[in-house]
Structure 1
Amino acid sequence: MSKKFLYPIFPKDCKSLLSKYLTKEIFEHLKDLKTTNNFTLNMAIASGVDNLDSGIGVYAGDVESYSIFGKLFDPIIQEYHSFSKNDKHKTNLNSDDLKAANPDPLGKYILSTRIRVGRNFANMPLGPAISKEQRDGVEKRASEALNSLDGNLKGTYYPISGMNEEISKKLIADHFLFKAGDRFLESAGLNRDWPSGRGIFHNDEKTFLVWVNEEDQLRIISMQSGGDIKEVFERLTKAISKIEEKIDFSYNDHLGYITSCPTNLGTAMRASVHIKLPNLALDMKRFEEITDKYYLQIRGIHGEHSQSEDGIYDISNKRRLGVTEVQCVQDMYDGVVELIKIEKELEKKL
């Protein structure tokens, strides 16, 4: 006999948005509903119930989850993105609209630039609800589309399943290989059938990378050494448009590009630089005033919650939903220009 689905009791010190917004009344209203892909409230909240240190705690199984379980998702999206259920998202991937001459042509401050977006296939469940057959079908279509790319995007697709040790070592050395997801993704159902259906594509120049069936069905990444942010964005937008010739992405006018984690909705974009700011790092209050002004996030170079090394930080856009892709990258660029300006001023005082 299956276990009865009961209202979860969260400890007082739980800070997840799930624990904040899943009232008993909303739970009772939603607990027996399911989407056309048989995705339920129980599945949507599993990660946040299992992992009480979640920041958000919910995942969508398909685009329908955002409307069927809207009484839960809407307030979470409102708090995280400051975006109401009546707002409309706008997209703009026209790189000509980005004003971003290289802010560090001598390469003294910016070590590398990386811009990525998440994409999921239209008319297909998201990772938490997808079947093995559907996921394998996504991989087949994705690898065919990626292997057809030419010019400076031309490269090779490597399935993780059955990968030999030599290729695996090469991809690990390049920091391209991804592993099964952490405990948050595990509880969300995103590690099912691992590693079947997962893979990595990269171009010959190693400046363009796509992860297939990680947290999102496609994670499309453009990157290179140095600070030519516009060149990185141009390569990304060109690649997206080439892939879209073969694959329709899940998108709607309210939430933008649909992703399994509500934090990525909208542009589903993270635009970042690794930047060396040893002097500004000694005054974190001033550092944070600048990044807050431009809606940026400061991380250590090994990702979220990591510490800085040698005054090197990962700086990225914070806003994703309700702003365009060009705005996201412009925020990051303008903030980086300001950070370099202040760092130079502090150097002169030494």
Structure 2
Amino acid sequence: MVIEKFLDNSLSSWMAGRGEHSDIVMSTRIRLARNLTGYRFPLAFTEDEAHRIDQSISATLLDASEELQMNISSVQIKDLSELNRQVLVEKHLISPKLANSRIEGSVLLSEDESVSVMINEEDHIRMQCLFPGLQIEEAYALADKIDRILEKELSYAFDEQFGYLTSCPTNTGTGLRASVMMHLPALTMSKQMNRIVTIISRLGMVVRGIYGEGSEALGNVYQVSNQTTLGKTEEDILADLQSITEQIIQKEKEARSALLKHSANTLEDRLYRSLGTLSYARIMTTEEAGKCLSDVRLGIDMGLIQDVDVTILNECMVFMQPGFLQKFAGATLNTSERDMFRAKLIRERLQKMGEKRITKGEELA
């Protein structure tokens, strides 16, 4: 079954890449919201309209696979179990809103999962492109290419004064949400994040948790995105996000240097204790796992922890979530069972990495 390849592996192919500033910026996401003319928006449309919209968009993009130079698969949300929907949310491939939708909807996914086009979510089309590291222009270029392919075949709801029309007024205009996912442990440890969030909000940006609006900054991971879509061009929005992201990167680097300069022993002890917890703990909550993974990632990026692959941490960050845990377990787990299984999976993953490293060392010898 096509969907299984997107559900069985916690690590998307694009996550293995290392884009610019990847020691701080984990990923870049570009999302475009669009609606078709001649149909009511998803808040008010009928099942028949939803079906026709889904067919039109899916057919257009599936036919464009060769032009996009990527294999695209279509997945019907109604065909997925609640657990499988949750797994796709945890991989950032669909939104919680689409996962909980009772109207006919689907998602078109590229083979490496860097492209996800949600159909009949809050808008008829929500296309997103995910790239590793800081690659705002590159991610936007791909999203724009997909957008142009769709617009050649389909008629968008567009107004000369207001731009692209969307279900929520906050998306009207460009329909563009550009965001970067950043790992900011040093700014968090030094208690500077509240001040930075306040400053960012004054500049027309918003800071959210790892899963967007309403979520918490698990593992010191924050999403920074534009808040304004009307009255600015796409180029202005992208330039503003690039500028603010670079300033945050600089602040995080300065905070890391300060920690290393003033409390190196304490910092190193904390990071290695977290590595020990991940390697040997038998019970671990989501929050504790997130904190420990954040510490180890910081240790790797600062050169304090050697021989741990950061892609393993990316993988652990995804599969420690409730949906993936139950998918791997093949059973419904209560909270305490998830805490035990989470610790077991992380422990085994790190042990396998260690065994692979030893084997490689023996071959070199």
Give yes or no for TM over 0.5. Answer: yes
CA drift of 1:105 comes to 2.3
CA drift of 1:262 comes to 1.3
TM-score by length of 1: 0.62
Query: In structure 2, which of residues 52, 58, 69 is the aligned counterpart of residue 152 of structure 1?
Result: 69
**Matched residues in 1 for 2:256 and 2:79: separation?**
52
2:140 pairs with 1:233? yes
Q: Per-residue CA shift, 1:202-225, capped at 9, x if unaligned? A: 112211110001110010111122
| 1:157 and 1:201 in contact (8 A); partners too | yes
SS of equivalent to 1:292: helix
**Matched residues in 1 for 2:19 and 2:87: separation?**
30
Partner of 2:129: 222
Structure 1 unmatched ranges of 5 or more: 1-102
CA drift of 1:163 comes to 4.6
Q: Per-residue CA shift, 1:277-312, capped at 9, x if unaligned? A: 222231135413541354211111122233222322
Q: Would you say how many aligned residue pairs link Structure 1 and Structure 2?
A: 238
Alignment of 1:1-350 (within 5 A): 105-150=20-65, 151-163=68-80, 171=88, 174-178=91-95, 194-196=102-104, 198-281=105-188, 282-292=191-201, 294-350=203-259
**Matched residues in 2 for 1:307 and 1:254: separation?**
36
| 2:109 and 2:115 in contact (8 A); partners too | yes
Q: Per-residue CA shift, 1:150-194, capped at 9, x if unaligned? A: 233430111223358998687467442455569xxx9xxxx5xx2
SS of equivalent to 2:251: helix
| 2:93 and 2:113 in contact (8 A); partners too | no
Give percent identity, aligned residues only. 27
The 1:179–1:108 alpha-carbon spacing in structure 2 relative to 1, beyond 3 Å, is closer
**Matched residues in 1 for 2:154 and 2:22: separation?**
37
CA drift of 1:144 comes to 0.4
Q: Which amino acid aligns with 2:208?
A: R
The 1:344–1:104 alpha-carbon spacing in structure 2 relative to 1, beyond 3 Å, is farther
| 1:118 and 1:216 in contact (8 A); partners too | yes
The 1:304–1:252 alpha-carbon spacing in structure 2 relative to 1, beyond 3 Å, is same
The 1:172–1:341 alpha-carbon spacing in structure 2 relative to 1, beyond 3 Å, is closer
Q: Per-residue CA shift, 1:225-255, capped at 9, x if unaligned? A: 2212211111111110111111111010222
| 1:113 and 1:227 in contact (8 A); partners too | yes
**Matched residues in 1 for 2:144 and 2:112: separation?**
17
SS of equivalent to 2:254: helix
Deviates more, 1:283-292 or 1:132-141: 283-292
TM-score by length of 2: 0.59
The structure with the largest helix share of the pair is 2
**Matched residues in 1 for 2:195 and 2:87: separation?**
41
CA drift of 1:256 comes to 1.0
Structure 2 unmatched ranges of 5 or more: 1-17, 260-365
SS of equivalent to 1:233: helix
The 1:166–1:144 alpha-carbon spacing in structure 2 relative to 1, beyond 3 Å, is farther
The 1:280–1:246 alpha-carbon spacing in structure 2 relative to 1, beyond 3 Å, is same
Structure showing greater relative contact order (alpha-carbon pairs closer than 8 Å, 6 or more residues apart): 1
Q: Which amino acid aligns with 1:156?
A: S
CA drift of 1:132 comes to 1.8
Question: Over aligned residues, Cα RMSD in angstroms?
Answer: 2.7
SS of equivalent to 2:180: strand
SS of equivalent to 2:53: helix
Q: Per-residue CA shift, 1:84-138, capped at 9, x if unaligned? A: xxxxxxxxxxxxxxxxxxx972511001111101100022211122222222111
Q: Which amino acid aligns with 2:236?
A: Q
Q: Per-residue CA shift, 1:40-87, capped at 9, x if unaligned? A: xxxxxxxxxxxxxxxxxxxxxxxxxxxxxxxxxxxxxxxxxxxxxxxx
SS of equivalent to 1:107: coil
Q: Per-residue CA shift, 1:317-344, capped at 9, x if unaligned? A: 1111111112112111110001111222
SS of equivalent to 1:161: helix
**Matched residues in 2 for 1:215 and 1:166: separation?**
21
Q: Which amino acid aligns with 2:250?
A: K
